[in-house]
Amino acid sequence: MLVKIHKSYRDVVAICDSELLGKTYEEGEKILEVRETFYNGEEVSEAELIKLAKEMSKEDATFNIVGKKSVEAALKAGIISEEGIKKVEGIPFALVLL
């Protein structure tokens, strides 16, 4: 999984499954674009991602999460719930504004 933290007045944490990087998914009006410029960051394990997500959620960060493994890790970290998960072409994603 890849993690990239965009620094601004509120940090934006971009998380995606590595194999989805650079791909675009479309379903009707919905488009999910996994741009390298936004998501390509550090490769991390599930344990590292869970720890980072918990820490960043305490810092009032926002999250963009794409992919089955990444979404599952975010669920385990407690930063998203099942109700917040959407799909495009079967690819799960979640946006978190804490």
Average pLDDT over residues 68-85: 96
Residue ranges in the chain assigned as alpha helix (H): 36-39, 46-58, 68-77
Residue 9 pLDDT: 87
Average pLDDT over residues 57-73: 95
pLDDT tens digits for range 18-63: 999 999 999 999 999 999 999 999 999 999 999 999 999 998 899 9
Averaged confidence pLDDT in the chain: 95
Structurally, at CATH architecture level, domain 2-97 sits in 2-Layer Sandwich (3.30)
pTM of this structure: 0.94
C-alpha to C-alpha distance for 35 and 2, rounded to whole angstroms? 12
Residue 98 pLDDT: 64
Average pLDDT over residues 2-10: 94
